[in-house]
Amino acid sequence: MKLNSIQFFANTSMMISMMFIPVIAEDFGANHIQIGIIVGVYGLCLFISSYLFSRAADAWNIKKLLVAGLAFSAVAYLLQVFANDPFSLGLARGFLGICVGIYPAAMIMHVYGMGRSIGKFSSFGALGWAVGFFVAGLIGNYDLIFVASAVLMILSAIIAMRLPDVKVPRINVEYLSLATVKANWDIYLTFMLRHTGASAIWVIFPLYLISLGANEFWIGTIYCINPLVQFFIMRRLDGRDSVLLVRYGCLVSVVAFLSFIPPTTFYYIMPGMILVAVSWSFLYVGSTELLLSQNQDKATAAGWITSVISLASVVGSLLGGIISYYGGFVSVLVFAGGLSFISFRIMASRPHPHPQTPV
C-alpha cells in the first residue's frame, strides 16, 4: 500500500496545483498565447528532467531518487504561492516541471521490482487526479491550493523513506543515446500525437467550461469524472492485449474529443469525459505494459512515457493557445480529434510483439 499511497498523494498534489493555472494566468493578465507558453514551459522542463532521470533510474539507487524527487517537488509546489504575474508564474511552473520529472521512473521501477500490477498502480494515480480536481474546486483559494500540494508531497516523501530497498537489474546508461526511442518509435509517436491534441484542449478547457456557464465548483466536478472512471477501468486491464489497448485508446480519443463540440451548456460535457477516461486508460496502461515487456532498459523505456507526455504538453499547449486565439475553442477540438485519428492509423499497422525473455 505504500507505493499506491505515494502514487495517490503525488497525483492528487499535481492536479490540485495544475487545474486552475490557465485561470490564474488569465487573472494575471495573460492572453491565450501567453497561457499556452506558461503551460508549455512546465512541459518542456518536465520533458528534460524526466528524460535524464528516467535513464538515471536504470543506474542509480531508485529509493534515493524517489525520495529526492518528492521532496524537491514539495518545495516547488510551495514556491508557486509567490507568483504574481505571468512571468513569475512561468518560472515557478518551470522549476516544478524539473522537480516532478525526477521521481516517476524510479517509482515505476519500484512497482516492477516488487512484482506489482501496473494497472492497479496506475489506477491510484487516476484516483489522485479525481481527488485533486475536486479539492481544487472545493478550496477555490489559489494560495491554499499550492500549500495543499506541497503538504501532500511532503507526506509522499515520508512514506517513500519507509519503502524497502528493491533489487532491480542495474545497467550502464548512455544519456545521449536515442536507441530506445528508435526501437519503440511507433509507440512514442502514437502517444505523442494523441497527447498533443489532448494538451491543446486542456490548456483552454477551463476557459471553455466557463464560456459554457460553469463555475469553479463545476469545473472541478467535471474534471473529476475522467480520473474516477480511469480508476475502475485501469484495474481491469492487466493481461490484456497491449497493442489492441493502444489502438482502441486512440480510436476512442477521436470520438471523445469531437463529442465536446455540440454542447451549449457545460452539463453536456460529462459523457465525453467518460470517453476520455476510457481512451487514456487503454492508452497509458497498454503503452507502459508494452514498453516494459519489449525492452531491457525498462526504466528508460517506461520513463520515456513521462517525457513524451511532457513534450506533448509543450507542443499541445502552444498550439492550443494559438489555435484558440485565432480560431476559437471548436477549432482546437477538431485539431485534437484529427491527431488522435493519425495515432490510430500508426498503431493499426503495428504487428503484435513477442516479449523478450527476462534477463
123 lies in a domain?
yes
167 lies in a domain?
no
Of the listed ranges 90-104, 107-121, 218-232, the least confidently predicted one is 107-121
173 lies in a domain?
no
Of the listed ranges 5-9, 165-169, 231-235, the least confidently predicted one is 165-169
The percent of residues in the chain predicted with pLDDT above 90, rounded, is: 29
For all residues of the chain together, what is the average pLDDT? 84
Res. 122: pLDDT tops 70: yes
> How many structural domains does the chain have?
1
Per-residue confidence (pLDDT) for residue 250, from 0 to 100: 93
Res. 343: pLDDT tops 80: yes
Per-residue confidence (pLDDT) for residue 170, from 0 to 100: 59
What are the strands, taking DSSP E only, across 154-289?
none
25 lies in a domain?
yes
Of the listed ranges 122-131, 133-142, 204-213, 314-323, the least confidently predicted one is 133-142
Res. 320: pLDDT tops 70: yes
User: Are the CB atoms for 137 and 217 separated by under 8 Å?
Assistant: yes
Owner of C-alpha cell 504538453: 313
9 lies in a domain?
yes
169 lies in a domain?
no
Assign 175 to helix, strand or coil.
coil
Alpha-carbon torsion 312, 126, 246, 258, what sign? negative
Total-model pTM: 0.73
Task: Give the C-alpha separation, 75 to 86, whole Å.
Answer: 20
CATH code of 254's domain: 1.20.1250.20
Higher pLDDT, 302 or 6: 6
Residue 241's H or E segment, with its range, is none
User: Are the CB atoms for 129 and 226 separated by under 8 Å?
Assistant: yes
Q: What is the mean pLDDT of residues 183-211?
A: 88
Task: Give the C-alpha separation, 154 to 9, whole Å.
Answer: 9
Owner of C-alpha cell 503495428: 350
SS (H, E, C) 78-143: HHHHHCCCHHHHHHHHHHHHHHHCCCHHHHHHHHHHCCCCHHHHHHHHHHHHHHHHHHHHHHCCHH
147 lies in a domain?
yes
User: Are the CB atoms for 95 and 76 separated by under 8 Å?
Assistant: yes
Res. 354: pLDDT tops 70: no
Confidence of residue 357 (pLDDT cuts 50, 70, 90): very low
Angle at 162 between CA 231 and CA 105, to 5 degrees: 55
Residue 75's H or E segment, with its range, is helix 62-79
Res. 168: pLDDT tops 70: no
Closest of 158, 131, 39 to residue 89, by C-alpha: 39
Per-residue confidence (pLDDT) for residue 356, from 0 to 100: 44
Per-residue confidence (pLDDT) for residue 355, from 0 to 100: 46
Residue ranges making up the domain that contains 156: 2-161+182-348
Residues contacting residue 201 through CB under 8 Å, at least 6 positions apart = 257, 260, 316, 320, 332, 333, 336
172 lies in a domain?
no
Task: Give the C-alpha separation, 258 to 277, whole Å.
Answer: 14
